[in-house]
Chains A and B, each alone.
Chain A
Amino acid sequence: MAAIDRPLPVVDDEETGGFFAAAAEHRLVVRTCNSCAATLHLPKSYCHHCGSWDVGWRDVRPTGSVYSWTVLQHSIHEAFPAPCTVVLVQLDEDPAIRFVGYLPGAPELHDGMPVRVRFEDIEPGVTIPQWEPVPEA
């Protein structure tokens, strides 16, 4: 259930819409150059590595690790009451690919902590990937 004023992503942008379309199918994807295979994340439709405009979306393994985080102790938006945590994640598959996630409260986190995607279906057609800690063995 979406909170009344919760900010939702624009999901039909020319450059980034494909990411959210995949997320709605519970797939994590990154923009990729079809010519040189470079990752173009955050998404754009031109590859500055090889000059190609031929780009697509590549499925990536939805596991990663904690790179940094902040615990918000002061609310500036009613949809995100304090305390809550914003986590910066790097993918296992390619640490140069990062994502941001939201965690309620102030869970215990540490550098390199394993995390995995949980797709949050907010409303029809609007899904965002979230990241949650994987219980460590």
Chain B
Amino acid sequence: MATTDHDHRDRCAVVGIGATEFSKKSGRSVAALVSEASLAAIADAGLTPADIDGVVRSDYDSVTHNDIGHWLGLSGLTFWGITGTGGSAPCGMIGQAVAAILSGQATNVLVYRGLNGRSGLRLGRGSAIQRSGGARHVGGNGTLDEFFLPYGLMAPGQLFAMYARRHMIEYGSTSDDLASIAMTVRKRANANPAAQMAHRTMSLSDYYESRMIADPLRMFDYCLETDGACAVVVTAAERAKDSPHPGVLIRAVTQAAMPEMQGGLVFPALMRPDLLDNPGRRVGKELYRRAGLGPADIDVAQLYDCYTITVLLQLEDYGLCGTGEGGAFASSGAIDIGGTVPINTAGGNLSEGYIHGMNHVVEGVRQMRGQSTSQVPGAQTCLVTSGTPTVTSALILRAA
């Protein structure tokens, strides 16, 4: 039943989830990792590969639609989609699955992200400079890298350090605030046996003793580098009623870009007149409108956390606290279990594993099933966000 002009509200569901082991060195191909996670998600949905007629991946994923079709022997593949940029993709990938289902182009859509993020291409070291293959001249051809790489600005952590500094200048947020995010998320990982940091606790002194990488960001402000994959299966809510896990509805999903300075890979975002005005604000506003919900309705959130500062910014972008209050809000315990909005309950990119935000979608589904290792009692809604700042996407899951 259409309830708004964006009539996808509650009309599709996530019926299957799957994940591989998260490690530093998988010793396996990315295609094998994606296949394992995908098979787990398909089986979890009570389906077989023959039932999958659509696939959606991230633009950064090396496993293409024809690759996964080949690996899994998908005999009925009639839809495939790609979105990005990179970590901004996962929630938008779910959106593409919803669009395909509601437009009649697919029935059961497999959505995946896999990478050898530690043993293969290490995104944290700067993908553009690595992909330049040591060429003397960088940039051109629409990349806009010529305005950044020649100055030593090459890695995403360096960019987000600029955001952190600016937030500290404008609003007085502190390293203690960033530490509170790192430590809170680590506690969730300590409760999750599948997290890479399951057995490593983090104290405040551990945080401050971690190596300064791009001041003011320390190593423990950075996410992990992970070999692994995550996948989910999306289907129509009506069809989901016949599945083993019928109860996780996609309340609403939204992507948004900025009108200016979204070109290139990521660094041009530094050129925006207000550095702290991110597409997350636009996604948040539109997402809540589509969902017919507001920030106060969110019981638990999986916020994309490539860095601690990314979480701080999104707490504001999604209205979970006021503009400029992200640091104080995080330090208040509001993001901890028992707080207003517990976040990243499996450990997130910071401490569970860096599956480029796809693990956030999987954990959101677990929360709505009541299956998280840090279950929020009575949680009925979960906000899931994807990467920022060039463009971004987010969704709200609802327990039926």
Interface string of A41-73 (1 = CB under 8 A from B): 110100010000000000000000001111111
**Interfacial chain A residues near B125, Cβ < 8 Å:** 76
Q: Are A72 and B158 in contact (CB under 8 A)?
A: yes
Q: Are A73 and B214 in contact (CB under 8 A)?
A: yes
Q: Given A68-B275, A70-B214, A86-B158, do A16 and B139 touch, yes or no (CB 8 Å)?
A: yes
Q: Are B152 and A79 in contact (CB under 8 A)?
A: yes
**Interfacial chain A residues near B147, Cβ < 8 Å:** 9, 16, 42, 99-100
Count of interface residues, chain B, beta-carbon cutoff 8 Å: 47
Q: Are B169 and A10 in contact (CB under 8 A)?
A: no
Q: Are A74 and B213 in contact (CB under 8 A)?
A: yes
Q: Residue A37 at the B interface, CB < 8 A?
A: no
Q: Are A9 and B158 in contact (CB under 8 A)?
A: no
Q: Are B151 and A16 in contact (CB under 8 A)?
A: no
Q: Given A8-B150, A68-B166, A77-B129, do A100 and B270 touch, yes or no (CB 8 Å)?
A: yes
Kindly state the separation between the CA atoms of A5 and B118 in the bound complex, as whole angstroms: 24
**Interfacial chain B residues near A41, Cβ < 8 Å:** 271
Q: Given A16-B144, A42-B263, do A86 and B137 touch, yes or no (CB 8 Å)?
A: no
DSSP majority for the A interface?
Answer: loop
- A104 → chain B closest CB, angstroms: 10
Q: List 14 A-B contacts (CB under 8 A).
A: A7-B136, A10-B140, A11-B146, A41-B271, A42-B261, A68-B165, A70-B165, A71-B215, A72-B214, A79-B152, A88-B275, A100-B148, A102-B151, A128-B150
Q: Are B154 and A77 in contact (CB under 8 A)?
A: yes
Q: Given A79-B152, A100-B151, do A7 and B129 touch, yes or no (CB 8 Å)?
A: yes
A residues neighboring B (CB under 8 Å) = 5-13, 15-16, 20, 41-42, 44, 48, 67-74, 76-77, 79-80, 84, 86, 88, 95-96, 98-102, 106, 111, 128, 130
Interface string of B195-216 (1 = CB under 8 A from A): 0000000000000000111111
Q: Are B138 and A7 in contact (CB under 8 A)?
A: yes
With both beta carbons as reference points, the residue of chain A lying nearest to B274 in the complex is identified as A96
Kindly state the separation between the CA atoms of A111 and B152 in the bound complex, as whole angstroms: 21
Q: Are A9 and B162 in contact (CB under 8 A)?
A: no
Q: Given A86-B153, A88-B162, do A9 and B213 touch, yes or no (CB 8 Å)?
A: no
Q: Residue B141 at the A interface, CB < 8 A?
A: yes
- B218 → chain A closest CB, angstroms: 9
Interface string of B111-134 (1 = CB under 8 A from A): 000000000000001100100101
With both beta carbons as reference points, the residue of chain A lying nearest to B135 in the complex is identified as A7
Q: Residue B30 at the A interface, CB < 8 A?
A: no
Q: Are B169 and A68 in contact (CB under 8 A)?
A: yes
The 4 A-B pairs at the shortest CB distance, nearest first, are namely: A10-B140, A9-B146, A80-B152, A70-B161
**Interfacial chain B residues near A86, Cβ < 8 Å:** 151-153, 158, 162
Kindly state the separation between the CA atoms of A8 and B136 in the bound complex, as whole angstroms: 6
Residue from the set A7, A10, A74, A99 with the largest chain B CB neighbour count within 10 Å: A7
Residue from the set B166, B261, B271 with the largest chain A CB neighbour count within 10 Å: B271
Q: Are A73 and B213 in contact (CB under 8 A)?
A: yes
Q: Residue B268 at the A interface, CB < 8 A?
A: yes
- A89 → chain B closest CB, angstroms: 10
Kindly state the separation between the CA atoms of A70 and B169 in the bound complex, as whole angstroms: 13
**Interfacial chain A residues near B265, Cβ < 8 Å:** none
Partner of B141, one of A11, A13, A71, A130: A13
**Interfacial chain B residues near A74, Cβ < 8 Å:** 211-214
